[in-house]
Amino acid sequence: LILLRYYNELSLEEMASMLHISNGAVRTRLSRTTALLKNIFTE
């Protein structure tokens, strides 16, 4: 998700369509992934 969003510069709608999930699910997964990475890199 991080690569799709920031490297490929896809919108949430484009990501949702590509992954066959809702926009809300993309937002939730992206938020959780970002928090996980932040936690990993601050340890």
Q: What is the chain's pLDDT, residue by residue, as a tens digit (43 residues)?
A: 999 999 999 999 999 999 999 999 999 999 999 999 999 999 8
> Domains in the chain: how many in total?
1
What pLDDT shows up at residue 20?
98
- pLDDT recorded at residue 11: 95
Are 1 and 31 in contact, with CB atoms under 8 Å apart? no
Residue 20 CA from chain centroid, whole number: 14
pTM (2 d.p.): 0.81
Domain range enclosing 25:
2-42
Rounded to an integer, what distance in angstroms lies between the CA atom of residue 20 and that of residue 43? Answer: 34
Region for 26 from its dihedrals, namely left if φ exceeds 0, alpha if ψ lies in -120 to 50, beta otherwise:
alpha
